[in-house]
Amino acid sequence: MPPRQPRLAWQETWSSRGSNRPAEDSLLAEDSTPVEAFFPEEDSSLAEAILLAEAIAQAAGSSQVEESQDDVQWLDPSKAWKLCRDKAVEFIRAYVRGTEKDDEEQKMLFLSKICDLCTCVTERGVPMNLHDFCCQTNLVENIMALLEKEPMDSLRTAFRQKAMETVALLSNTVPTALCGKRESLLNMCFKSVFFLPPESDVPETGVLYAETMKAMDTMLEGFVLNCPIASFNIEMQNMLKALLDFAVSKNSDVRESAVKVIERLITFFRWYLVIKILGIFENYGNDEPTDFNLRIPILGKLLGHLLLFSSGDDSMSHSALGSLHRMYTVVREGRGKKVWWAMSICTQTSAGLSACSP
C-alpha cells in the first residue's frame, strides 16, 4: 500500500462562520530572507517541489484532480514531505506579510501550516532550521496578535483551541522559539478565554468551550514537560503567577475560570512531582542533586488565596478545596524521601497566609 501523503493546501477544510474585529496593519515588515536559507545546503528539492505544486494546483481546478492525486502517490515519500514543508513555508511567509489577516479560513490554515512544519521536522525527519524561521516570521507574536482580535464576549470558532494546540506543538518541537515570550503568551491566552461567558450561559457552545479549555491544559502541561527539569520551578512560578492575577479579578466569572484551571494545573503538578521528580531524587540515593531547585515562591501566596476561596459554597470553592487537597497530598507523599521542598512548601504557605487579605 502506498504511504499516506500529507494534506496539501487545496485539501484543507477548515471553515468557520465567526466574525472578527476590523483588520489592522501588518505587524511585520517585508521579510526578504530567501526561503532556502532555512533549509540545509544539501536540500535541493525546492525548485522541483514548487514546479510539482504548481502542476497539482492546476489539476485541482480541473477534472483531472483524481489522476493528479494518483500521480502524487508515486512520489518518493521524502520528496512528498519536503513538498509539504516547502508549501507550508511559502504560505506562512505570505500570510505574515499580508495585511488582511481576519479571514477565518486563512487564520486556521496559517495554524495548520505551522503544525505541518512541526510534523515534517519531528515525525518525518525533514531538515529545517525551525528556530530561525520562527524568529524571522515572528510566529509566536503573530499568533498572539490574532488571539487579541478574538471577540471576548463570544466563542464562535475553534481558533482559540487551534492556537493553543499549535503553541503546545511549538513548545515541543522548537522550545527556544518561545524564550522570553511565554509570559506574554500566557496572559494573552488567559485573557482570550477567561473573559468568555460561563459555559452554563451559552449551552450551545458547550463542546467547543470544553475543547478550548482542554487545549489550554495541554499547552500548560507542554510548557512544563518540554522545559529542562532544572527549570521546572521557574516554569511553574510563571504559570501560577499569571493564573493568580486572574484569580483575584473583580469579575466573578473570571475568578472562577482561573481557579478551575489552577485546580487542573495543581493536579498535573502533583503527578509531575510524584512520578518524575521524586523518581530522580530516589535515583540519587543518599546524594541529593546540587543543581536542582524546586522552590516556587508563588506557592505560599497561591495557597493562602485558595484557603480564602474555599470558604464559599459555589463551584469556585470546590475547585479551591480540590487544589488544597492535592497540595496536601504532595507534601504527604514527599515525607521521608529526602525531598527538602516539602518543608519549603509548608513555610511558604505560612508566609502566604499572612500576606493575603480577605
pLDDT in tens, 34-73: 555 555 544 444 444 444 544 444 444 444 444 444 444 4
Q: Of 22-26, 160-164, 271-275, 293-297, where does mean pLDDT reach its minimum?
A: 22-26
The one-letter amino acid code at 71 reads D
C-alpha cell at 310: 474555599
The predicted model gives 162-173 an average pLDDT of: 94
- Per-residue pLDDT, 139: 93
At 223-255, the pLDDT tens digits run: 988 888 778 888 989 999 999 999 999 998 999
Distances from the Cα of 56 to the Cα of 59, 65, 161, 318, 328, angstroms: 5, 8, 31, 56, 60
Residues 6+ apart with CB under 8 A from 104: 14, 15, 16, 17, 18, 20, 157, 159
- Return the percent helix, strand and coil in the chain, to nearest 5: 70, 0, 30
Distances from the Cα of 289 to the Cα of 15, 194, 339, angstroms: 51, 39, 10
First to last CA, the chain: 66
Task: Identify the residue whose cell numbers are 516570521.
Answer: 137
pTM: 0.72
260 close to 319: Cβ distance less than 8 angstroms: yes
Q: How confident is the model at residue 136 (pLDDT cuts 50, 70, 90)?
A: very high
Q: How confident is the model at residue 150 (pLDDT cuts 50, 70, 90)?
A: very high
C-alpha cell at 215: 487545549
What's the residue count for the chain? 358
Number of H helices, E strands in the chain: 15, 0
